[in-house]
Amino acid sequence: MAGSDVQVWAGIVGTFATVGVSVLGVLNFQRKRDTSAAVGAAFKDVVEALASDNTTQQMAGAILMRRFFDNNSEQGAGRTPYADEAVAVIAGLLRESRSGQVQKVLADGLRFAPSLVQADLQGCNLTRAYLGRRTGDKKIVDLENADLFEADLTGASLRGARAPGAVFFRATLVNAVLADTVLTRADFREARLTGANFEGARLSGAQFAGASDIPDRVVRLLDTDGVVVSEDPV
């Protein structure tokens, strides 16, 4: 084959390669767009299930909402595009929910969120919620600077979680478990703390002014302004 023919065929092959890459790029974009649309439709269906008057559908929706926190699931779509929306929907429902099975499943679902840093959980019913670290689980729930103003955490567990700077102002933490939790600079002013367990918690800089039923082992760490001055765990 003449040198000129080789150059022609090389040009043709190069052109097909370029076009092929372009086509694959378009197809990949189309797949991503279709996937995003499917995830959006699934999110809408789950929200509608949660809004149903049927308790079974509500429970199913509460469980399925967790799928939007899992980047290995079809709803996570590799990058959890609806994770923030899922947290917002759960929080909105928990502001209106009475304590019960659906409420607890929703509240427990927050534990699977990629992050709860600066989450708006004001007024949420988190009764009996488990947001702590499970035995053998590497995941640590991160509530740094989260806002739990007037939230109800009666009987809830944040054992081993991170919540530095979190706001529990006027929150109800009756019988709540905050053992081994990082709570530096947290705000517990005017909170109800009857039976709350702070064993092993780190509370340096935490504020307790006006809180009721502060555990004795925490009281011993407070200065005259109700602020924890010790760096040591409770």
- Write down the pLDDT at residue 169: 98
Q: Using alpha carbons only, what angle is made at residue 102 by residues 82 and 167, rounded to the nearest 5 degrees?
A: 65
3-state secondary structure at position 39: helix
Instruction: Decide if 173 contacts 196 (C-beta within 8 A).
Output: yes
**Confidence label for 29 from pLDDT (cuts 50, 70 and 90):** very low
Beta-carbon contacts of residue 218 (< 8 Å; ≥ 6 apart): 198, 203, 208, 228, 234
Tens of pLDDT, residue by residue over 31-75, are 455 667 778 888 888 889 899 899 999 999 999 999 888 877 654
Tens of pLDDT, residue by residue over 179-203, are 999 999 999 999 999 999 999 999 9
Residue 18 class from Cβ within 10 Å (0-12 exposed, 13-18 middle, 19+ buried)?
Answer: exposed
Give the C-alpha separation, 221 to 203, whole Å.
9
Tens of pLDDT, residue by residue over 72-86, are 765 444 567 889 999
- Write down the pLDDT at residue 1: 55
Instruction: Decide if 146 contacts 163 (C-beta within 8 A).
Output: yes
CB atoms within 10 A of CB 89: 20
Instruction: Decide if 157 contacts 138 (C-beta within 8 A).
Output: no
Q: Could you tell me the pTM of the whole model?
A: 0.81
Tens of pLDDT, residue by residue over 125-181, are 999 999 998 877 788 999 999 999 999 999 999 999 999 999 999 999 999 999 999
